[in-house]
Chains A and B, each alone.
Chain A
Amino acid sequence: MDRREFLKTLAAAGALVTVKTSGMMDVMASTVPSGSQAAAADNADLAAVMNGEPAQMLEAAMKELGGIERFIKKGDKIVIKPNIGWDRTPELAGNTNPDLISALIKMCQDAGAAEIKVFDHTCDNWSRCYDHSGIEAAVKKAGATMVYGHEQSSYEKVEIPNGKTLKNAQVHKAIIECDKWINVPVLKNHGGALMTCAMKNHMGIVWDRRAFHSRGLHQCIADICTYKPAVLHIVDAYRTVATNGPQGRSANDVVLTKALFASADIVAVDTAAGKFFTGINKNIKFEDIEHIPDGQKLGLGTMDLESINVKRIKL
C-alpha cells in the first residue's frame, strides 16, 4: 500500500507542477471553489480542449465535466480501453497516446478506483502493439494492470438486445465484469469507416470483428455501442492520422493537432471529433460518416451539439 500512496502523492504533485508551469492557475482558481457538488448543474456535457499536452488537456476537460468523481465511485472496478490496434510508436499516432493513459490512470486512482485494467484486442501482433505503443509500459508504471486480449478464451458471448443487425457478440471479460469502463480512442482517418473514434473503438472489445465487416460495418459499430455503454469517452486528438488511416504510411500522414474531447455522450463526442477531423482532412464529408447518425437513431446520444452544454477551451 505504501507504494500506491507514494504514487498518488507523486501524481498529485506532478499535476500541480504541470498546472503551475502552464499558467493555468487562473482556471484552477475559478473552477476549484465552484467545482463542488453544489455547482453540478454547471457541469459541461462535452468538453473540447486545444493547444495543450495530453495530461494537461485531460485535466482541463475533466474540470469542465465536473471531475472524474462524477463518473466513477470509490471502490469501482474500472477498465480503461484505449486503441492499441497497431504496431506503431506514439509519434505515428496509430494508437492512443500513452501519456494520456498514464494521466487517466492516476486520476482514477485518486478517485479511489479499486482496480484498473487496460486492454485492447489489437490488429497487429498484440505483444508488439502493447510494447511499441508505449501503453504497456505506461500502464505498468502507473500501477494499473495490463490485461491480454489476443486469445479467444478472454471473451464471452453476450446478447445485444438493442442491436439492429448485431444481436450477439463475443465481448472481452474485462468489460463484462467491470463496474464501469472508460473509452479512450484516438482520432484517426479510416479507409472504411472514414473516421475512427469513440464508436469505432468498440471493435476492440469484441473477438470476431470479421462479422462486423461482412454484415455492415457502420450498423454493427452502432449496435455494439449499446451493449454496456462506457461511462466516459475521452478522445485523444493530440496527434491525428489525417490520411492513409488507420495506420498511416509515415509521419507525413500525422498532424500535430493538440486536441482532446471528452463526454459521457458517445454520439456527441464523435460528432465533435468528426467535425474537428473533417476540418483537417477536408476531402472527407462529415455526412458520410454513417455510424454517427446510426448511433443517434439507436438512442446512444445526440448529434445536436447546440442542445447540450459544450465547453470549448483553448489553453
Chain B
Amino acid sequence: MLRRIRTAVAIAVIAILTYGFIDFAGVIDNPLLQKIQFGPALLSLSIVTLVCLIAATLLLGRLYCSVICPLGIFQDLFNWLSKKFDKKKKYEFRPERPWLRWGVLAVLVIAWLCGFTFLVGLLEPYSAYGRMADELFRPVYIFGNNILAAICEKFGNYSFFKVVISLKSVTAFVVAILTLLVIGHISYHHGRTWCNTICPVGTLLGFFSRFSLLRIRIDKDKCNHCLACQRKCKAYCIDSKNQTIDYSRCVDCFDCIESCKQKAISFGPVKCGSKSADTDTVDESKRQFLKSSLVIAALAPAALQSKVTGVKDTRVPMSPPGSISHKNLLNHCTSCHLCVSKCPSHVLKPAGMEYGLGGIMQPVMKFDEGYCNYDCNLCSQVCPAGAIKPLTVEEKHKTQPGRVVFDINICVVNVNRTSCGACAEHCPVQAIHMVPFQGGLTIPETTPELCVGCGGCEFICPVKAVHIEGNPVHLEAKAPEQDEAIQTQDFDFGF
C-alpha cells in the first residue's frame, strides 16, 4: 500500500515538474514543485523550504529522494525498466562508503567557496534533471507538437502553433546527454548507487535520515533471514543476515515491505535500542568528512588558479535582469535551466566560458534568436535558487544588466547612405534613437544611461553595428524623460 502511494505521488510529481520545463506555451508560468528542491533552496538559503525538508526527513527519512527529487524518480523509472527485462534481478547488501560520499560533498563545498559553482550544478540532482528536461525532453515534446500543428494547419485549424527547435548550447547539450547516459546506466544496473555515493543532497539528507522518527523496521522475531528484502533493495542498504538497515541510504521506496512474506518489515516509529546501534557509524562518517575536507582544502588553491586562468570572451557577458551581478549568479545558480526553458524569447542560453570555468552552463543573455521583452519578468519569478531575484515589471524597467554600444563605422546608414532605423525602432526606452544625418537620412544616437539591455537593437541590426555590453554588477537604468504630451488640436486632413 505504502509503495503504491509512493509510486503514484512520484509519477505525479515528475510529470508536473517535467511539464514545467517542457511547457513552451506558458501554461504554467510559475512552477511550484521547482521551488521545493533541496539544492536550490540551500544555495538561496530559503529557510522555510530548508526547515520543512529537513523536518520531513527527520520525521519520515529520505522520502524526499523517492517522491520529490526528479532525478531520484527518474532513476526509479530506469530501475523499473531493468526489472521488466531482467526478472531475476537481485540486489545484495553493500557497506556504506562514507569516505566517497562525504568526500564528494566536501569537494563540492570547496568548489563552491572557490566560485566553481559549475561542479555543484553538475551534481545537484534537481538541476541535473532540469537540464535533461530542457535540453533533451523539451525538443522531443516540441517536435511532437510541431507535427500536430502541421497536421492541424493542413485542415485549416490554427489551435496549435509551431515552435522553433534549436540547440541552445553545445556544452549544456553534451552535459545533458552524458548525465542521461551515466544516470541511466547506473540506475539500470546498480539501483540507487548514485544517490548514495555521489549525490550531495543524498548525503546531506542521509545524515538527517539516520535520526528519522519513522523508518523501515525489521521484526527480528518474525524474520527468517530469507534475504527477500535485501534482494529487492535498490539502495543496497538492508543487511538481512544481521537484520539491520543503513538508514542513511534508505530512500523510503517501501519495496522491501511488500517483498517480505513473513510480514516482518513495516514502516513505523523507531524502537528504543535500534538507534544506539547506529551511533558508531555516525561518528565514523563525521570523522571521514573532516578528513576528506582537509585533503580537499589542500587542493583548493589549484582549483582557484584554474578559475583565474579561464579563457574569457572579449565581450562582457550579460546575466539576466534580477541576477544583481555576475558574482551573485555564480554563487547561487545550479544551472537547472528553468529560466532558460521559460524564457519566451529564447534569450537566456546556458553559458559556455563567458563567465569563466565556474559559471559554465549558467544562464547568459544572447540575442541570436530574439530579445528580452520589455514587460516580461518570468526568469526572475521562476528561479528557485535566488540566483535571479524576483523583479516586478516596474523594477525590471529600472534594471540595467548591460548597456548599448554603437559603432558608426559599420552602420548601414553611414556606410551605404540608406535609411534604416531598425535599432531605434526596437528600443523600448529610446536609449538608441534616430537623429538627423545627411540629406534627410537619420542615424542612431545612443543614451546608454537609459538602456535596459533588452538587446532588441542588437537582434535586429542587419550588420551588428550595435551590441549590448554586459554590466558585471547591474546598474540602475535612468528613467526616460517623458516628452510633453502633444496638445495640438490644430490639425486637419492636410491635403
Contact = CB atoms under 8 A, between A and B. Distances in A.
B363 to A, nearest CB: 18
Binding site secondary structure of chain A: mixed
B328 interface: no
B309 interface: no
Given A50-B493, A127-B26, A192-B419, A148 B162 contact: yes
Interface in B406-441: 412, 416, 418-422, 424-430, 433-434, 440
Contacts, number: 149
Contacts of B150: 153
Interface of B is mostly: loop
Nearest to A124: B373
Contact of A145 (B158, B373, B420): B158
A15 interface: no
B85 interface: no
B344 A125 contact: yes
A29 to B, nearest CB: 25
Contacts of A150: 161
Given A192-B419, A312-B493, A125 B424 contact: no
Contact of A252 (B433, B460, B484): B484
Interface residues of B, number: 50
Contacts of B430: 244, 249
Contact of B412 (A48, A115, A191, A214): A214
A151 B493 contact: no
Nearest to A219: B418
B412 A250 contact: no
Contacts of B485: 251-252
A125 B376 contact: yes
A133 interface: no
A279 B486 CA distance: 12
A19 interface: no
B31 interface: no
Interface hub of B163, B420, B480, B485 (most chain A Cβ within 10 A): B420
A82 to B, nearest CB: 16
Interface string A199-236: 00000000001110111111100000000000000000
B480 A249 contact: yes
A147 interface: yes
A277 B374 CA distance: 27
A295 B16 CA distance: 55
Contacts of B460: 123, 209-210, 213
A210 to B, nearest CB: 4
A147 B158 contact: yes
B420 A275 contact: no
Interface in B275-325: none
Nearest to A117: B158
Contact of B491 (A128, A194, A280): A280
15 contacts: A123-B456, A145-B156, A191-B424, A194-B442, A209-B422, A210-B461, A211-B462, A213-B460, A245-B425, A247-B426, A252-B482, A253-B486, A255-B486, A255-B488, A279-B491
